[in-house]
Amino acid sequence: MYKRLSAVLFPISAILLIGALIWGYQENQEKNSILIKAENQYQRAFHDLSYHVDRLHGEIGNTLAVHSASTPMHRKGLMNLWRITSEAQNEINQLPLTLLHFNKTEEFLSKISKFSYQTANRDLTKQPLTDKELKNLKELYKNSNEISSEIQKVQGKVINNHLRWMDVETALASEHRSQDNTIIDGFKTVDKKVSEYPELDWGPSVLSIYNKRSVKKLSGAPTTVEQIKKKAADFAGHTDPTKVQVSENGKGTEWSSFTATVPGKVKGDRLSIDFTKNGGQVIAYNYTRQVGARSISDEEAHRSAAHFLESKGYKNMQAIVYDPSDNIANLTYVTKHDDILIYPEKLSVRVALDNGQVIGLQSSDYVYEHENTPKVSQPKLTLAKAREYLNSDLKETYHRKALIENEQSERVVTYEFGGRINGSQYRIFINGNTGAEEAVEEIRSGRKGASLK
């Protein structure tokens, strides 16, 4: 009996064992193939990074080598700088450096990219490179040479010692091993060297994207928890502040704020309101509840949002975008000063389309920008003159005046034209003083803005 049983089971076991070995071999081959592919991608990105940092040094040298009045060559050199730094930033993002502090070098490249792009896009015949900008380029020329040399040292070690980037990823991911790795040490050296460079004066347009807004810049005295409870109760329409729970976010930092939680009128509903610490201004409001099927019109949603803003103290607001989706309408509003729309002072409102109730408000841009908006002046160009700068194929549907922030982080008064061209809807902002096209934006399908005049 046992012989017969063994005669049956042995071949089956042998087949299963062979199958398991084949499956394991195939899995191992696939795993190795994936690892080899990842390693090849890392190696390619690293060697491309070394090449582009070296090209960065060379291109800065080319830009400095030409005559100080050679506007076309300056523009060409600056655009090449922007392209090269963009490539280098992309290659850094492809490397497994997420857990490695390499932020100084990334910020350095980002500032070069922003500086070169903005400078190349201005009219260099009227605004040539200044002495300060040329001095900056000379400093960047020296710095980029040092960075390139350090990266090339790492590159030499990688090639000569057959180092693998997969080992870098493993070393960075490990919580228990010391990060003793030639590549890691090399990149740490680069970042340390960059951190020691003196800060250049990049100008306000570049630095504005790195200078984050601070609540300390807001007017008004710091508020207390009890004051926030009262403000939250008033905002929510409740009369009992004792039912409001308040928590402080980022206590002890310049980003300190308050979040107030208020019980809804219906069991299970909840309201949360975020306030700035200075002045106790509302920066976000959210009413969490189940939204039913749509039962109101677009016009009713507009009226509900406008009434809500008026009742909460937001004056002179105008809707510029209406975007209904999933039984909720999202409306974007901006301040209107005389006949000019102030785009930096924007806020968004969410309206539930089942009953028209406002269930959300995002007003941080409005809060931070409202006090800092300079005096708004009328454009020098007439509407007819500004219209001459449009593409003749644009089928205009509306126009209005708008204050926007351009790519140089400058606030400029423009004429906003909405219309259709090439089968799509666009809004185009023409500088009200020079006629230059400051911005072009395609209006996505489903969003309505042209009719909100």
**Which among 340, 370, 400 is the end of a domain?**
370
Of the listed ranges 62-76, 124-138, 169-183, 200-214, the one predicted with least confidence = 200-214
Sign of CA dihedral 81, 84, 90, 91: negative
**Which among 343, 370, 397 is the end of a domain?**
370
**Would the pLDDT of 18 be above 60?**
yes
242 and 202 both lie in a single domain:
no
157 and 257 both lie in a single domain:
no
324 and 430 both lie in a single domain:
no
pLDDT at position 328 is 93
pLDDT at position 394 is 92
The whole-chain average pLDDT of the chain stands at 82
Grade residue 450 by pLDDT with cuts at 50, 70 and 90.
Answer: very low
- Pairwise CA distance, residues 205 & 211, whole Å: 11
For residue range 323-362, what is the model confidence (pLDDT) as tens digits? Answer: 888 899 999 999 999 899 999 999 999 999 999 999 999 9
**Would the pLDDT of 428 be above 90?**
yes
**Which among 176, 207, 238 is the end of a domain?**
207
Strands 437-442 and 245-249: unpaired
DSSP symbols for 216-235:
GGS-SPBPPHHHHHHHHHHH
- Residues 6 or more apart whose Cβ sits within 8 Å of residue 104: 191, 192, 194, 195
> Average pLDDT for residues 207-219, to the nearest whole number?
52
**Would the pLDDT of 429 be above 90?**
yes
- Pairwise CA distance, residues 353 & 294, whole Å: 5
Full residue range of the structural domain in which residue 412 is found = 383-442
Q: Which residue did the predictor score with more confidence, 448 or 413?
A: 413
- Residues 6 or more apart whose Cβ sits within 8 Å of residue 257: 215, 248, 249, 250, 274, 275, 276, 277, 283
For residue range 380-397, what is the model confidence (pLDDT) as tens digits? Answer: 999 999 999 999 999 999
pLDDT at position 452 is 41
For residue range 278-315, what is the model confidence (pLDDT) as tens digits? Answer: 889 999 999 988 889 999 999 999 999 999 999 999 99
Q: Does any domain span residue 36? A: yes
How long, in residues, is the chain? 453
Q: Token pair 């909720």 is at which residue?
A: 328
Question: Model-level pTM?
Answer: 0.64
Number of domains in the chain: 3
